[in-house]
Amino acid sequence: MNANGASHRDAGQASAGQASARPAFGRLVNVAKSFDTGGQHVSAVKDVSLQFRKGDLISLLGPSGCGKTTVLKMMGGLIPASGGLLELAGQAITGPYPGVGVVFQQPTLMPWRSVLGNVLFPMEVLGKNDRNAKTRAEELLALVGLSGFEQAYPRQLSGGMQQRVALCRAIVHEPSILLMDEPFGALDELTRLEMNDLLLDIRRVTGATVVFVTHSISEAVYLSDRVCVFSKRPAVIALELDVDIAYPRTQQTRFLEKFTQLEKQASIALGVVK
Amino acid sequence: MMRKNVLRLLYPLAGVAIILLAWHFYVVLLRVHIVVLPSPLQVATATVVHARILLEESWVTSLECIYGFALALGIGIPIAVVMTYSRVANQMFYPLLVASQSIPKVAIAPILLVWFGTGIESKLAMAFVIAFFPIVVDTATGLRSTSPDLLELARSLQCSRLQTFFKIQLPSALPSIFSGAKIAVTLAVIGAVIGEFIGSNEGLGNLLLTANSQLNTPLAWAALVVLSVLGMILYGAVVLAERIMMPWAPDSGHKL
């Protein structure tokens, strides 16, 4: 699989324009996951099928503990599925594979490394830590507004700044898919809105394909090409919602009538609104 | 800021001064005999008078402590690593290791004497035996407390086991390793002195015993003072190493 394939393409415009023309890039077919915990058989994911195209940003939206994180981890090859098929770029996902970027709810930076050292960690592991890597890391840090903090230690930064570093670390090796597990869930509301716009910027610049787990309805609709609303555990997809609002979106977008309607549809699917 | 720093230095010094004054006046006013309890001044005098022998003997004791401590690090850390990553080794030896801690360390000293003789070996063995446990336990705790998310990141990047260990788990464990080392280094001093008590003809512990048996109490106290200074220096050395190796740690830098 070509890890560099997603680089520097203006996916924002592409997805608004000729979206339907592009073939499926990732595919989940009847994916299921159950755990055995002390003799008890717990079904976390019952039956999840979905597709996305290269450059798409899709959200997995659902209540806490519904199994959406489990689906994300299966997509990253970090845990095996109990049933069904997962595919990326025509290849079955059976374990960790090259070209994945991950962002967690916590920044999970290495406190012993500088900001730059943290961002360069994937390049170091992949044996690509050269001058170009450093330049790219510095460019990314500039993109997220952290120029001048390259040599700082993580503990010297605020939570929002740390999460920006984590974002840079996740995309420095130009992954073909970016998996984000409630990445802004621990941030305050205003920082979260800022980070939403930042993610859309990054996605516009890098053309990354993003799978975004969240329990915020508004965040899911704001960011995504498509929102997959999960049921309670064991997870099935209750509703797939195409967000046909053109990018670039701004905070103004949240006040469009269409936006509110989509939020309402998602709320109904979640059972929040009767 | 300046004033705060001065006070931070002043308060502990004042505390020491109060204790010394109380000690001095207790001895002087109640006319306590010098063999029972010498005054602080008499101890200070003995320290100066016997400075040469005190220095020589503390050199011996320092070496016992440092070698024993180094041995505890060199053997304790690899054992902790093996016990963390091998379930079998863990189940076979961890209960044994914990149970072995119920043996009073002093009771081992005569056996070590038989094995290693009255030279430096039996003392550093004693220092090792007593310093070993906290290093193993704290290192193992540190290795196990690596953030699961970081391990997941490593897996997603397909890090090798060695990469994961050296780039993530070992640095994650460093704060724990150092907290174990700080306890271990003070225990090493205790171990060395126990070793000297049981059988030795040199070292500060031996000097203390000899002075005591000759009713030279001021010298015994002087040896005690030097021993505690030695302990503090060794502890300080570990703290210094910690600051150098962990410049990212909260109390060794400044917020931006």
pLDDT tens profile B145-191 = 999 999 999 999 999 999 999 999 999 999 999 999 999 999 999 99
- Strand, helix or coil for residue A5: coil
Looking at residue A200, its pLDDT comes to 92
Residue A183 domain-assigned? yes
Asked if residue A155 belongs to a domain, the reply is no
Tell which of B150, B155, B156 to mutate to test the A interface (max A CBs under 10 Å): B156
* Closest CA of chain B from A257, distance in Å: 39
Query: Is A100 within 8 Å of B156 when comparing Cβ atoms?
Result: yes
**CATH number where A198 lies:** 3.40.50.300
Nearest CA to CA, how far is A100 from chain B (Å)?
A: 7
CB contacts < 8 A, A to B, total: 57
B248 to A153: CB separation less than 8 angstroms, yes or no: yes
CA–CA separation, B246 and B240 (whole Å) = 10
Would you state the pLDDT for residue A8? 40
Distance from CA of B190 to the nearest CA of A (A): 33
Q: What is the domain partition of chain B in residue ranges? A: 34-247
Closest chain B CA to residue A96: B156
* Nearest residue of chain A to residue B153 (CA atoms): A102
CA-CA distance, A252 to B245, in Å (whole number)?
49
Residue of chain B minimizing CA distance to A78: B156
Position A224 in a domain: yes
pLDDT at site A21: 56
Measured in degrees and rounded to the nearest 5, phi and psi for residue A45 equal: -125, 125
Decide if A156 and B168 are in contact by the 8 Å CB cutoff. no
Write b or e for each residue in B81-107: b if 16 or more Cβ atoms lie within 10 A of its Cβ, otherwise e.
bebbeeeeeeeeeeeebeeeeeeebee
- Chain B: give the shortest CA distance to residue A158, in Å: 11
CA nearest to A179 within chain B: B156
Closest CA to A30 of A13, A49, A12, A43: A49
Average pLDDT value over all residues in chain B:
91
CB atoms closer than 10 angstroms to residue B178: 21
Q: Which stretches of A55-212 are DSSP H helices?
A: 68-75, 115-125, 131-143, 159-171, 189-206
Q: Is residue A87 part of a domain?
A: yes
Q: Report the 10 Å Cβ neighbour count for B21.
A: 11
Averaged over successive runs of 10 residues, the pLDDT of chain A (274 residues) comes to: 41 42 82 83 86 92 87 92 88 90 93 95 91 92 92 92 94 93 90 91 89 93 92 84 88 89 89 82
Alpha carbon of A80: minimum distance to chain B alpha carbons (Å)? 13
Range of the domain at A73: 11-15+24-99+174-270
Q: Could you give the ipTM of this predicted complex?
A: 0.83
The torsion angles phi and psi of A100, rounded to 5 degrees, stand at -115, 135
Looking at 3.40.50.1980, 3.40.50.620, 1.25.40.80, 1.10.3720.10, the CATH number of the domain B34-247 comes to: 1.10.3720.10
Please list every residue in chain B whose beta carbon sits closer than 8 Å to the beta carbon of residue A100.
156-157
The predicted structure's pLDDT at residue A22: 67
Q: Flag whether pLDDT at B254 surpasses 70.
A: no
Task: For residues B4-21, give the mean pLDDT.
Answer: 90
Please give the pLDDT value at position B88: 92
* Mean pLDDT across B201-214: 92
Task: Decide if A105 is inside a domain.
Answer: no
Taking Cα atoms as reference points, which of A124, A61, B194, A121 lies closest to residue A69? Answer: A61
Q: Which of A76, A113, A124 sits opposite B156 (nearest CB)?
A: A76
Q: Which residues of B touch A154 (CB under 8 A)?
A: 248
pLDDT at B118: 85
Q: What is the pLDDT of residue B251?
A: 60
Query: Which amino acid is it at A77?
Result: G
Where does residue B144 rank: exposed (0-12), middle (13-18), buried (19+ CB within 10 A)?
middle
Residue A110 to residue B150, Cβ atoms within 8 A: yes
pTM, rounded to two decimals: 0.82
Q: What pLDDT, on a 0 to 100 scale, did the predictor assign at position A193?
A: 92
Residue A235 belongs to a domain: yes
Q: Which residue among B153, B172, B248 places its CB closest to the CB of A102? A: B153
What confidence tier does B1 reach under pLDDT thresholds 50, 70, 90? low
- Residue A164 in domain: no
Nearest to B79 by CA among B177, B171, B207, B199: B177
Q: What is the pLDDT of residues A144-186, one digit of tens each?
A: 899 999 999 999 999 889 999 999 999 999 999 999 999 998 8
The confidence score (pLDDT) of residue A5 equals 39
Domain membership of residue A211 (yes or no) is yes
How high is the pLDDT of residue A39? 77
Average of per-residue pLDDT across B81-110: 89
